[in-house]
Structures are given as C-alpha cells and as structure tokens.
A and B are shown apart, each in its own frame.
Chain A
Amino acid sequence: ETGVTQTPRHLVMGMTNKKSLKCEQHLGHNAMYWYKQSAKKPLELMFVYSLEERVENNSVPSRFSPECPNSSHLFLHLHTLQPEDSALYLCASSPSQGVRNSPLHFGNGTRLTVT
C-alpha cells in the first residue's frame, strides 16, 4: 500500500463510547497531522507530530487524545464526544514539519457521527 491510509472510513458512536481512529503513512514522512473538516468551515488543524513528538496542540478539547507510537502511525483516541464533534477527520503527512515547501498528503478520512 502507498500513501496515507485511515481506518475506519465511517464511525458512529454514542457520547459515552470510547473509540480510536488510526492513520498509517507509507511515504517515509517525518510529520503527521490530524485535521477536522466540518461543513462550510475551513479545515481545522488539531495536532501536529514531528518525528513522533507532539509539536502542536491547537486548543483541542481533552476528549480528543492523539498518540504517535512511531513516525508511520498516528492515532486519535476519542471519549465522551459531543454531537458537534461529528465531522470528517483527516490525517495528513508531510516530509518535514515546515509546510512552506513541503505540502500535505491526506488520507481519505474517517466520517465520524456522534449520536
């Protein structure tokens, strides 16, 4: 497999559930990202990891917890979510953290619905 792979593609969860989103990149990149995409809103950066170290937490509520065990894998652990958290969650990677000349490669996303 090549590129950035996300699982699951779709997820429905109740507000009391705990679930995890998984992302895997096969591009040899050093930086990985979580973005949230909601209808009629710009892509919102949530977290950035560079060489497995979290370098940015963009004021994301603690009910979202990222984990980066190695440079190829990224997880987003979810617990006690709210209905407004329903969105498309996109994982991305780039060769290095500075995106100026190192644009993002996105996965196909996980469509999350919180009931």
Chain B
Amino acid sequence: QKEVEQNSGPLSVPEGAIASLNCTYSDRVSQSFFWYRQYSGKSPELIMSIYSNGDKEDGRFTAQLNKASQYVSLLIRDSQPSDSATYLCAGVNFGNEKLTFGTGTRLTIIP
C-alpha cells in the first residue's frame, strides 16, 4: 500500500456545489496531515492542516480526519472557478519525520 493515496481525478464539480477530495494513508504515516493547493505552473501552497480526529473549518474549507478508517478529506463549500487546481494530500512519515505526498487530485470547477 502506498503511504498516501489519492484519486488523481479529474474531479469536475459545478460552481457553487461542494467539492469533496479524499485521501487514505498507511500505517507508516503519522496523524499530522496537510492539504496543499497547486495551480498549473505554480508551487504548492498550504491551505489546511489537521492533527486531531474530527473536523477543522477555515472559511469555505473543511478538513476531516478519521483515524479509525485512515482517511483525510477536504471539503470546499460554494466552489468557485478559482478553486480549480490540483490538491495534494500529505502526511508525516513515522520513520524519517518527512512529508509524504499523494499524487494529487485535479479539481475543475465548472461555471
């Protein structure tokens, strides 16, 4: 099993709807997780971090962590065309304390 797995997409969501991005992780990854957004041709930008089981909200973004099922989600409410990007899920590897990334999910918001 890969340490961090994401569906590469593309995921298409109508403008104004909720976009749901999912990520699963293996036992080799600790329970500190980060979501990065990467626009085409740009660098990854941190948008959310979550360390505890449950939900964490920041504006239109909600990160969810379910330790029992080993998955992390990012919900984007009231999706905007400017949310179209690739979203990278990352967790911390237990062994070397370094970030381990998923392949990213490409999200397209359709006007």
Stretch at the interface among B40-48, B55-63, B64-72: B40-48
Q: Is the CB of A100 within 8 A of B92?
A: yes
- Tally of A-B Cβ pairs under 8 angstroms: 51
Interface of A is mostly: loop
B7 smallest CB distance to A (angstroms): 12
B92 smallest CB distance to A (angstroms): 5
Check if A109 is an interface residue, CB within 8 A of chain B: yes
Q: Which residues of B contact A48 (CB under 8 A)?
A: 98
How large, as a class, is the contact surface on chain B?
A: 20 to 34
Q: Is the CB of B44 within 8 A of A90?
A: yes
Q: Is the CB of A42 within 8 A of B100?
A: yes
> Known interface pairs A43-B88, A56-B96. Does A104 touch B101 (Cβ–Cβ under 8 Å)?
no
How far is B49's CA from A105's CA once the two chains are assembled, in angstroms?
13
What is the size, in residues, of chain A's interface with B at 8 Å between Cβ atoms? Answer: 21
Q: Which residues of B contact A108 (CB under 8 A)?
A: 42-43
Q: Which residues of B contact A42 (CB under 8 A)?
A: 2, 4, 100-104
* Per-residue interface assignment for chain B, residues 11 to 44, with 1 indicating a CB less than 8 Å from any chain A CB and 0 otherwise: 0000000000000000000101010100000111
- State the A residues within 8 Å of B (CB): 4, 40-43, 45, 48, 56, 90, 97-101, 103-109
